[in-house]
Amino acid sequence: MSTFDARSTAEQVSEGIDLRGKTWLVTGCNSGIGLETARVLSLRGAHVVGAARTLEKAKEALAGLPNPGSPLACELSDLGSVRGAVEAIRSMGTALDGVIANAGIMALPKAETKYGLELQFLTNHVGHFALVTGIDDLMTDLARVVVVSSGAHRYASERGLELDNLDGATDYEPWRMYGRSKLANILFARTLAHRFAKGGSQRTAFSLHPGVIRTNLTRHIADVDTLLAPMKSSMKTVAQGAATQVYVATQPGLEAHSGAYFSDCAVARTIPSGTDDALGEVLWGRTETLLAALG
């Protein structure tokens, strides 16, 4: 399907693609592969709405882009901040051609909670769910939603989404809880894709694993070198790490794959629960209920 692979960069996969007149929202625009994604979309002509935890961080990140962007404050673990971001996007009066839900945290050493929700699940899944569903009506007819998951979703395999353990208090384990949040990312994208299709929309949604890239994501890991040593030969640069999300966001002709999970610029397999549509609907309903209860 694709001529690109694990070594392709975000610039290579978007070569020749003209994004002038398009607007893309990128979360986590100030660091790692989110910053590179924002830069390359901008390089191709897109207007980037760049979201970071604070307006200052977003402004600083966008200042380095080839084209002017619009900075946005969006602290994903603060639902008031997410609502504020939704309103700020609304007041921009610009239709969105796509969203890259890229921001994330990984492997918090101890269980941290807010609103009674484990922080990785809240930040990586619930915050993005609230943001994306909040701006649904601002998306163009052909908009794409790209949710950055991880191959680490497999760490959730034994216990799955643990919807009876949303605060993570039962046997907290950093990687299992990160995996749970990343499995939720996959199911969110898949369920969103189904819902778009059922509603007669041509919009699409995808999830992906970007590869293993040394970024600030490892900030909570005590010995990063030891963790990454076995993966050294397959690790990607930041330019390569941003490639799959830029590919999925911009490559024409991916519509037939809406709902799929990508890796190395190609459709890839998830663990079995990653394609469990009934589970995806359960997660969707539960997330909506949580958000309604949290006001």
Ligand X SMILES: NC(=O)c1ccc[n+]([C@@H]2O[C@H](COP(=O)([O-])OP(=O)(O)OC[C@H]3O[C@@H](n4cnc5c(N)ncnc54)[C@H](OP(=O)(O)O)[C@@H]3O)[C@@H](O)[C@H]2O)c1
Using a 10 angstrom Cβ sphere, with 0-12 exposed, 13-18 middle and 19 or more buried, the burial of residue 88 is middle
Which of 104, 168, 174, 259 binds ligand X (CB under 6 A)? It is 104
Give catalytic status of residue 172 as yes or no.
yes
- What span, in angstroms and rounded, lies between the C-alpha atoms of 126 and 256? 27
Looking at 17-25, 68-76, 87-95, 259-267, which segment touches ligand X (CB under 6 A)? 68-76
Which of 17, 38, 73, 105 binds ligand X (CB under 6 A)? It is 105
Q: Minimum distance between the CB of residue 122 and ligand X, rounded to whole angstroms?
A: 8
Per-residue contact string for residues 228-267; x = within reach of ligand X by CB under 6 A: ----------------------------------------
Q: Which two tokens stand for residue 181?
A: 């949040």
Which of 53, 128, 176, 195 binds ligand X (CB under 6 A)? It is 53
Closest CA to 288 of 176, 154, 172, 191: 191
- Whichever of 25 and 105 has its CB closer to ligand X, that residue is 105
Specify the DSSP class assigned to residue 173.
-
Q: Which of residues 22-51 bind ligand X (CB under 6 A)?
A: 28, 30-34
Backbone CA torsion sign across 24, 30, 36, 40: positive
Q: Which of residues 192-211 bind ligand X (CB under 6 A)?
A: 209-210
| Site residue total, ligand X (CB under 6 A) | 28
Check residue 102 for interaction with ligand X (CB under 6 A): yes
Contact (Cβ atoms closer than 8 angstroms) between residue 127 and residue 52: no
Q: Which two tokens stand for residue 144?
A: 């794409």
Q: Which of residues 141-180 bind ligand X (CB under 6 A)?
A: 148, 150
The packing angle between helices 55-63 and 32-43, to 10°, is 50
Q: Which two tokens stand for residue 44?
A: 């191709």
Catalytic residue (choose from 115, 155, 172, 247): 172
Which of 49, 58, 72, 76 binds ligand X (CB under 6 A)? It is 76
Contact (Cβ atoms closer than 8 angstroms) between residue 121 and residue 166: yes
What is the identity of the amino acid at 295? G
Q: Which two tokens stand for residue 50?
A: 């760049």
Check residue 14 for interaction with ligand X (CB under 6 A): no
Residues of this chain that bind ligand X (CB under 6 A):
28, 30-34, 52-53, 57, 74-77, 102-106, 123, 148, 150, 209-210, 212-213, 215-217
